Amino acid sequence: MWKLLQIELFKIYKRPRTYIAFGAVMAIVAVVQVALRYDGKSYIDFMMSGLSDTFEFQNDKVLNGYLVCFIILNTLLIHVPLLVTLIAADEVAGEANMGTLRLLMTKPVSRTQLILVKFAASVIYVILLLMWMAVLALLISILIFGTNDMVVLRNDSFHQMQANDVVWRYVMAFGYATVAMSTVAALSLLLSVFADNAVGPIVATISIVIVLTILSEMNIPLYDKTVKPYLFTSHMVAWKGFFYVKSTEEGETIKGSIENLPAIGRSFLILVIYICLFVGSAVVCFKKKDILS
């Protein structure tokens, strides 16, 4: 199994297009960092507009490396699933397209093993991509913008946490993001099983993610209780929950606290169920698949 995984990883990292994603992440992060470096004040003024009538604050302290990383991580919603799909959707369909899938099946490897290994390789790719993102978005932002207390602005509340209470939240958030992106990878892999060309599964996955994300973000009572809780895209943003803090009755932030950890746990579980469902379906379908290419 380990040897098989090594081969899959070799295949992924031998392809030049794998590195497009790393380049894209670097570009997204750099674009946001440059924009905030030169016009961060406008952004902070806009975000804090609900408070600026009542409070005075120092823009330069609010805009620090921790907040910049949080802003960048929001792109997880849109960009990173696309980058993950590029690789994961190519796992089976790409082999079918090149005609190597039939050859691969002549080896003494079960179809279940093959799908599981391909999924594991995709997860490793997700981990590396997010680690790369963490280095650029967190470490480089800290170098450029420095550190200070972190503020998180929600739709109806303002959360502030001390600088020494932030890094562990990022570790947890990136860990959670790995699971969220692995769900997208699992979906891509499932769709990849049905195609002989990677373009179809890539487009299909992206379309599904976009439509479900829009549904998740819409505030329509009809969907709020009936549809949204069951969409995996609603739970992909649960990494933000690590930055929602508890407070005392007097509004004082409780250091090291998470506002609703059980909710994050529930979201995590739902994503894991989705992963199992997608990967399980991929195994079943691949086992029944008549490989002709």
Partner 1 sequence: MKKSILIVAFLLPAIFIKAQDVNELLKQVRAKIEKVNDYVASGKMKTNVIFMKVPVASIKVFFKKPNRLKIKNESGISLIPKGSISISLNNVLAEDGYSALDAGTAKIGNTDTRVIKLLPNDDNNEVVLSTLYVDPVKLLVLKSKTTTKDNGTYELEMKYGIYADYALPDKVIFSFNTKEYKLPKGVTFDYDDGTEKKQPGGKPQKGKVELTYSSYIINKGVDESVFSK
CA–CA gap between residue 10 and residue 4 (Å, rounded): 10
Identify which of residues 114 and 150 has a Cβ nearer to partner 1 in the complex.
Answer: 150
In the bound complex, what is the minimum distance in angstroms from residue 162's beta carbon to partner 1? 5
In the bound complex, what is the minimum distance in angstroms from residue 50's beta carbon to partner 1? 5
Residue 149: which of 139, 138, 159, 136 has the closest Cα? 159
Q: Which residues pair with 150 in a beta bridge?
A: 161
Identify which of residues 11 and 240 has a Cβ nearer to partner 1 in the complex.
Answer: 240
In the bound complex, what is the minimum distance in angstroms from residue 136's beta carbon to partner 1? 21
Q: Distance of alpha carbon 129 from its chain centroid, rounded?
A: 10
In the bound complex, what is the minimum distance in angstroms from residue 252's beta carbon to partner 1? 6
Residue 69 near residue 50, CB atoms below 8 Å: no
Query: What six digits make up the tokens of 34?
Result: 């440059």
Instruction: Tell me the backbone φ, ψ of residue 83, rounded to 5 degrees.
Output: -70, -35
Identify which of residues 63 and 282 has a Cβ nearer to partner 1 in the complex.
Answer: 63
**Cα 175 to Cα 46, 106, 162, 168, 288, distances in angstroms:** 30, 37, 21, 11, 34
Residue partners of 11: CB distance under 8 A and separation at least 6? 121
Identify which of residues 29 and 161 has a Cβ nearer to partner 1 in the complex.
Answer: 161
In the bound complex, what is the minimum distance in angstroms from residue 64's beta carbon to partner 1? 9
Identify which of residues 128 and 163 has a Cβ nearer to partner 1 in the complex.
Answer: 163
Residue 182: which of 78, 81, 286, 285 has the closest Cα? 81
In the bound complex, what is the minimum distance in angstroms from residue 219's beta carbon to partner 1? 6
CA–CA gap between residue 138 and residue 266 (Å, rounded): 27
Identify which of residues 16 and 262 has a Cβ nearer to partner 1 in the complex.
Answer: 262
Residues that bind partner 1 (CB under 8 A): 47, 50-51, 53-58, 61-62, 74, 77, 148-149, 151, 153-163, 217, 219, 228, 234, 237-241, 244-247, 250-253, 255, 259-260, 263-264, 267
